[in-house]
Amino acid sequence: MKVYIGLGSNLANPETQVLSAQQDLAKLPLTQDIAMSSLYKSPPMGPKDQPDYINAVVALETSLSPNDLLSQLQGIEQQHGRVRQRHWGERTLDLDILLYGDEQINEPHLHVPHKGIAERAFVLYPLAEIAPNLLIPKFGHITELLASCPKDGLERLEKNEI
């Protein structure tokens, strides 16, 4: 199954967190990594008194079930020293399942497509970079979603800025 994972970090050297998380994702069991977007810098959504985020999106091909994938992602977050602080607060690493093929999943701890997918510039723009023709179940074609999603200060980082 082709899946897309959103990565975000704004603590403890966020660029390094995101790049090493990509390596961790590529090493998951039953999984191959396909593509990773550029890194993006984005102002925090939520409380403003926290550092800017580094965001990216990774495409994987996996045979893990959605729930097995979710628990693997939580394992990687924990290896990166994630501790839950305030709601919508700073974090060393956040990994979200954005899409799992074209499946729609609605469980208490797992909503796929990810609920914020269409309105979060820091998800949509990196996703479009690696999947420019994506049709997102429930939401529509990615080009149309982009057209109604302001960049909100999102900045794509060049390789030499990392």
Just list the catalytic residues. Answer: 82, 91, 94, 96
Nearest distance from C-beta of residue 43 to ligand ROI, angstroms: 6
Q: What is the contact mask toward ligand ROI in residues 38 to 57, using x (rule: CB under 6 A)?
A: ----xxxxx------x-x--
With CB atoms as reference, the residue minimizing the distance to ligand ROI is 8
Measured between alpha carbons, how far is 87 from 128 in angstroms, rounded to an integer?
Answer: 28
Residue labelled with tokens 């179940």: 137
Query: Is the separation of the CB atoms in 9 and 39 below 8 Å?
Result: no
Amino acid at 116: G
Footprint of ligand ROI on 117-156 (CB under 6 A):
122
Footprint of ligand ROI on 92-111 (CB under 6 A):
94
Q: Kindly state the tokens that stand for 53.
A: 């985020």
Nearest distance from C-beta of residue 90 to ligand ROI, angstroms: 8
Query: Is the separation of the CB atoms in 33 and 44 below 8 Å?
Result: no
Cβ-Cβ contacts under 8 Å for 40 (sequence gap 6 or more): 54, 55, 56, 122, 125, 126, 154, 155, 156, 157
Nearest Cα to 153, choosing from 76, 55, 11, 80? Answer: 55
Nearest distance from C-beta of residue 74 to ligand ROI, angstroms: 14
> Is 14 among the residues that bind ligand ROI (CB under 6 A)?
no
Q: Which is nearer to ligand ROI, 8 or 113 (CB)?
A: 8
Nearest distance from C-beta of residue 153 to ligand ROI, angstroms: 9
> Is 88 among the residues that bind ligand ROI (CB under 6 A)?
yes
Cα-to-chain-centroid distance, residue 114 = 10
> Is 8 among the residues that bind ligand ROI (CB under 6 A)?
yes
By CB under 6 A, how many residues form the interface with ligand ROI? 11
Q: Where on the chain is the footprint of ligand ROI (CB under 6 A)?
A: 8, 42-46, 53, 55, 88, 94, 122
